[in-house]
Amino acid sequence: MKKALKIIGFILLTIFILLLVSPFVFESQLKDLVKKTMNENLNAQVDFQDIDLSMFRSFPQATLVIEDLSIINNEPFKGDTLAIAEEVTMEMSVWELFKSSEESKHVDELKMDNAFVNIKVDSLGNNNYDIAIEDTATTSSNGQPFSLDLKHYEITNTCVKYLDQKGKITLDIENLNHEGTGDFSLDESELDTYSEALVSLDYDGVNYLNQHNVSLDAVFLMNLETLKYTFKENEARINQLPLTFDGYVQVNEEDTEMDLSFKTPSSDFKNFLAVIPETYAKNIENVETKGNFVVNGRIFGKADDTYIPKMDIKVTSADASFKYPDLPKSVQDISLDLEILNDSGLAEETYININNATFRIDQDRFTTKGKISNITENMLLDLEVDGTINLANISKAYPLEMEQDMNGILTADVQTSFDMNSIEKEQYENVKSSGTASIRNFSYVSPEIPNEVKISNADMSFNQGNVRIPELKLTTGQSDLTASGSLENLIGFLFTDQQLKGSFDVKSNTFSINDFKVAETEELTTKNEDGTEKTVAKTTGKEAVKIPSFLDVELKFDANTVIYDNLELKNAKGVLVLRDETAKLENITTNIFNGSIGLDGMVSTKNPTPVFEMNLNLNSLDIASSFNGLDLMQNLAPLARALEGKLQSSLNLKGNLNEDLTPQLASVAGNALAEILTAELNPEKAALLSQLDGQLGFLDFSKLDLSKLKTYLTFRDGMVEIEPFDFNIKDIRFQVSGSHGFDMSMDYDLVLDVPARYLGSEVGGTLGKLSGEDLQNMTVALPIGISGSFQSPNVKLNMQQAVNNLTQKIVEKQKRNLEDKAVDAINDILRGKRDPNKPFSKDSTSVDNKSTDSTGTQVPTKRDSISRSQEEQVKNAAKDILGGILKNTKKKTDTTKNN
**Per-residue model confidence as pLDDT tens digits over 497-509:** 788 888 999 999 9
Closest by CA position to 23, among listed 49, 74, 68, 59: 59
Whole-number pLDDT of residue 520: 59
Q: Which of the two residues, 303 and 679, has the higher pLDDT score?
A: 303
In sign, the C-alpha dihedral spanning 728, 731, 737, 740 is negative
R_g of the chain, CA atoms, integer Å? 47
195 inside domain:
no
Q: How confident is the model at residue 898 (pLDDT cuts 50, 70, 90)?
A: very low
Average pLDDT score over residue span 88-101: 70
| Contact assessment for residue 655 and residue 732, using Cβ atoms and an 8 Å cutoff | no
884 inside domain:
yes
| Contact assessment for residue 330 and residue 321, using Cβ atoms and an 8 Å cutoff | yes
Q: Which of the two residues, 803 and 873, has the higher pLDDT score?
A: 803
144: helix, coil or strand? Answer: coil
Number of domains in the chain: 2
715: helix, coil or strand? Answer: strand
Closest by CA position to 234, among listed 242, 244, 221: 244
Whole-number pLDDT of residue 338: 93
Strand spans (E) along 275-374: 288-303, 310-323, 331-342, 351-361, 364-373
Strand spans (E) along 13-143: 44-47, 50-58, 61-73, 81-93, 105-106, 109-121
CA dihedral defined by 859, 864, 865, 868, rounded to 10 degrees?
-50
Average pLDDT score over residue span 175-181: 91
- Helix, strand, coil share (%) of the chain residues, nearest 5: 20, 55, 25
In sequence order, the 6+-apart residues with CB closer than 8 A to the CB of 209 are 199, 200, 201, 238
8 inside domain:
no
Q: Is the pLDDT of residue 478 over 80?
A: yes
pLDDT tens-digit series, residues 309-321: 999 999 999 889 9
Whole-number pLDDT of residue 339: 94
Q: Are strands 551-564 and 500-512 parallel, antiparallel or unpaired?
A: parallel
728 inside domain:
no
Single-letter code of the amino acid located at 693: D
Among 344, 369, 401, which residue terminates a domain? 401
pLDDT tens-digit series, residues 628-649: 878 778 888 888 877 888 888 8
Whole-number pLDDT of residue 733: 85
pLDDT tens-digit series, residues 118-145: 988 888 878 888 777 765 444 443 445 5
Q: How confident is the model at residue 27 (pLDDT cuts 50, 70, 90)?
A: low
pLDDT tens-digit series, residues 585-627: 899 999 998 889 998 999 888 888 899 998 989 898 888 888 7
489 inside domain:
no
> Residue 822: enclosing H or E segment and its boundaries?
helix 799-830
CA dihedral defined by 525, 527, 533, 536, rounded to 10 degrees?
-40
Q: Which of 417-426, 511-520, 833-842 has the highest mean pLDDT?
A: 417-426
Q: Which of the two residues, 22 and 566, has the higher pLDDT score?
A: 566
pLDDT tens-digit series, residues 370-404: 999 888 788 899 999 999 999 888 888 888 766 56
Three-state SS across 831-862? CCCCCCCCCCCCCCEECCCEEECCCCCEEECC
Closest by CA position to 603, among listed 585, 624, 620, 622: 585
Average pLDDT score over residue span 98-123: 78
788 inside domain:
yes
Please state which of the ranges 89-93, 192-196, 256-260, 718-722 shows the lowest mean pLDDT. 89-93
Q: How confident is the model at residue 22 (pLDDT cuts 50, 70, 90)?
A: very low
Q: Is 478 exposed, middle or buried (0-12, 13-18, 19+ CB in 10 A)?
A: middle
Q: Are strands 152-164 and 109-121 parallel, antiparallel or unpaired?
A: parallel
pLDDT tens-digit series, residues 241-271: 888 989 999 988 888 899 999 998 888 887 7
Whole-number pLDDT of residue 506: 92
DSSP per position, 492-536: HHHHSSPPEEEEEEEEEEEEEGGGGPEEEEEEEEEE-TTS-EEEE
Whole-number pLDDT of residue 248: 92
Q: Which of the two residues, 881 and 132, has the higher pLDDT score?
A: 132
349 inside domain:
yes
> What percentage of the chain reaches a pLDDT higher than 70?
74
pLDDT tens-digit series, residues 814-872: 667 666 666 666 666 566 665 555 554 444 444 444 444 444 444 444 444 455 555 56
Among 376, 401, 426, which residue terminates a domain? 401
384 inside domain:
yes
| Contact assessment for residue 597 and residue 574, using Cβ atoms and an 8 Å cutoff | no
Average pLDDT, the chain: 77
- Domain range for 806 is 762-840+858-898
Whole-number pLDDT of residue 92: 78
Among 352, 375, 401, which residue terminates a domain? 401
Measure the CA–CA gap between 162 and 82, rounded to whole angstroms: 11
Q: Which of 438-447, 517-526, 736-745 has the highest mean pLDDT?
A: 736-745
Q: Is the pLDDT of residue 208 over 90?
A: no
